[in-house]
Amino acid sequence: MILRVLLLLTLFPLSAVSAPLPIPDQGPALRIQGSNTIGAALGPALVKGLMEQQGLQGVHAEPAEGANEQRVIGKTRQGKTLTIEVDAHGSSTGFAALHKASADLAASSRPIKDSELVDLEPLGDLKSPEAEQVIAIDGLAIILNPRNPLNTLNTEQLAQIFNGEISTWEALGGIGGAIHLYARDDRSGTYDTFKDLVLSRRGKPLAASAKRFESSEQLSDAVSQDPQGIGFIGLPYVRQAKAVAIVDGDSQPMLPLNSLIATEDYPLSRRLFFYLPPTSHNPWAKALVDFTQSSKGQAIVAANGFIAQRVQAISVEPRPSMPEDYQAIAREAQRLTVNFRFEEGSASLDNKARQDVQRVVAYIKGHGKLDKQVTLVGFGDIKNDPQRAALLSKLRAMAVRRELVKSGVVLRDIRGFGAQMPVAANTADEGRIKNRRVEVWVY
């Protein structure tokens, strides 16, 4: 299972589940299908939390008929049994199940595709803020033997290494001869994440020579004992191995730090989603989404090793590679561990950003920073027009300002840095989306 660094939560409380939910006379109360990353452990844990909040007793999960399928079962005080089904066969299967009406809620470790949006149009707009719910952030570390002198690798090199195209450490400027590959097994969400973020984006399969592991601990220990070894792992399993900094495109090298994963700047991070059809009339589906976004739900996210959506203030060390004005901000202020991101080619907040507005406002109010103690810093992707990137970076910061002003926040300043300081490659849509961001700094 993927474990990705634990962050405890101080969320602005979203709608909580309070009124008792109806108990169906027959069949499951809720059917969830989709991502194995979510469905293997996190999904059932969230379902258990909701059922216990509803007062059900003896709540437990048990295997269902097929592989990667579970039933979570509980009883009412009157002895009536309630069942929720969680099937985890991959993100695409969740959307297919919504289309066939064999699921009420889709779990996905990637955003919904345009083709899936079209197929599911009769169910409403699955990209609407109510339908598309970011429930957690996911991240991986690349690990080496502690004696390996290399400290940085880029995502293109990672794809070539794990595909077998780069087969010696000397080809990377290191020493040690042949590279020994260590990977999780095909059933692992860790492997799914690495495949999605590194291999599949470059059309490369994992080399057949990779030694596969069911256990994260065993994989990490094997790499730490092999001077020629390299592997990928959930962050808490780095153990005695050495994590390297990752570069994507023109980004700075980034170590897998909690703060960089929370802001999604770290290249090997991604969002996990629930998709709730707007036409849904299943009260358990809506209740689970609300519970997941609540403080109790996000605590379960963190307890399962994912990154909960918490807002913290962190100090950033000014570097010579930063613009002078940005260094000045970093010397005086602290950055919040949340980035606002935007829809393609626009200054419209994406759905996670809409939820993050509430979290940021709660932090600002809770720390007494409503009056001219907040600066917004916008960035864009370069494409073919640096001037357009500079304009959009400022417009995006102004879009965030509009949302904060509604809650009584008086800003100190708004800055736009255009396409400077990219955090990802601008050669692919995923990278450009990461680069279109607004940072929040507090004094």
Residue 4 domain flag: no
Same domain, 433 and 319: yes
Instruction: Read off the pLDDT of residues 340-391 as tens digits, 9 standing for 90 and up.
Output: 998 766 678 999 999 899 999 999 999 999 999 999 999 988 766 778 888 8
Task: Look at residue 248 in the predicted model and tell me its pLDDT.
Answer: 93
Residue 55 domain flag: yes
Say which residue, 81 or 17, is predicted with more confidence: 81
Query: Quick check: helix, strand or coil at residue 24?
Result: coil
Same domain, 76 and 177: no
Same domain, 436 and 321: yes
Residue recorded with tokens 């001219």: 372
> pLDDT over 90 for what percent of the chain?
71
Task: Look at residue 3 in the predicted model and tell me its pLDDT.
Answer: 36
Q: What is the C-alpha separation between 205 and 199, in angstroms, rounded?
A: 6
Same domain, 427 and 315: yes
| Sequential DSSP letters for 79-143 | S-EEEEEEEES-HHHHHHHHHTTS-SEEEESSPPPHHHHHHTGGG--TTSTTTEEEEEEEEEEEE
Task: Look at residue 202 in the predicted model and tell me its pLDDT.
Answer: 92
Residue 109 domain flag: yes
Phi-psi region of 274 (alpha: psi -120 to 50; beta: other; left: phi over 0): beta
Same domain, 106 and 49: yes
Q: What does the pLDDT average to over 391-419?
A: 94
Mean residue pLDDT across the chain: 90
Task: Look at residue 19 in the predicted model and tell me its pLDDT.
Answer: 75
Give the structural domain span for 214: 139-259
Q: What does the pLDDT average to over 392-414?
A: 94
Give the residue from 367, 384, 386, 389 showing the smallest Cα distance to 436.
389
Q: What angle do CA 386, 391, 393 make, to 5 degrees?
A: 90
Q: What is the C-alpha separation between 172 and 301, in angstroms, rounded?
A: 37
Same domain, 222 and 321: no
pTM of the model: 0.81
- Joined together, the tokens standing for residue 160 give 């070539």
Same domain, 363 and 434: yes
Q: What is the C-alpha separation between 26 and 41, in angstroms, rounded?
A: 25
Q: What does the pLDDT average to over 122-130?
A: 96
Task: Look at residue 258 in the predicted model and tell me its pLDDT.
Answer: 82
Q: Is 316 exposed, middle or buried (0-12, 13-18, 19+ CB in 10 A)?
A: middle
Same domain, 119 and 152: no
Task: Look at residue 139 in the predicted model and tell me its pLDDT.
Answer: 87
Task: Look at residue 430 in the predicted model and tell me its pLDDT.
Answer: 72
Residue 348 domain flag: yes
- Joined together, the tokens standing for residue 235 give 């962050």
Same domain, 182 and 199: yes
Q: What is the C-alpha separation between 12 and 296, in angstroms, rounded?
A: 11
Task: Place 11 in a pLDDT band, splitting at 50, 70 and 90.
Answer: very low
Say which residue, 246 or 197, is predicted with more confidence: 246
Query: Quick check: helix, strand or coil at residue 298?
Result: helix
Task: Place 17 in a pLDDT band, splitting at 50, 70 and 90.
Answer: very low
- CA dist 329 → 42, 91, 236, 381, 440 (Å): 38, 41, 32, 21, 11
Residue 367 sits in a domain whose CATH number is 3.30.1330.60
Residue 117 domain flag: yes
Phi-psi region of 203 (alpha: psi -120 to 50; beta: other; left: phi over 0): left
Task: Look at residue 123 in the predicted model and tell me its pLDDT.
Answer: 98
Q: What is the C-alpha separation between 377 and 327, in angstroms, rounded?
A: 12
Residue 426 domain flag: yes
Q: What does the pLDDT average to over 91-111?
A: 95
Contacts of 114 (CB under 8 A, 6+ apart): none
Instruction: Read off the pLDDT of residues 132-175 as tens digits, 9 standing for 90 and up.
Output: 999 999 889 999 999 999 999 999 999 999 999 999 999 999 88
Radius of gyration for the chain, computed over Cα atoms and rounded to the nearest angstrom: 22
Same domain, 48 and 99: yes
Residue 436 has pLDDT above 70, yes or no: yes
Residue 1 domain flag: no
Q: What does the pLDDT average to over 390-412?
A: 93
Residue 202 sits in a domain whose CATH number is 3.40.190.10
Residue 299 phi/psi, 5-degree rounding, is -65, -35
Residue 4 near residue 258 (C-beta atoms within 8 A): no
Same domain, 151 and 83: no
- Joined together, the tokens standing for residue 138 give 């996911």
Residue 436 near residue 377 (C-beta atoms within 8 A): no
Residue 65 sits in a domain whose CATH number is 3.40.190
Residue 248 near residue 155 (C-beta atoms within 8 A): yes
Q: What is the C-alpha separation between 420 and 252, in angstroms, rounded?
A: 11
Task: Place 236 in a pLDDT band, splitting at 50, 70 and 90.
Answer: confident
Residue 191 has pLDDT above 50, yes or no: yes
Residue 357 domain flag: yes
Number of domains in the chain: 3
Same domain, 152 and 211: yes
**Could you tell me which residues are beta bridge partners of residue 153?**
246
Task: Look at residue 14 in the predicted model and tell me its pLDDT.
Answer: 42
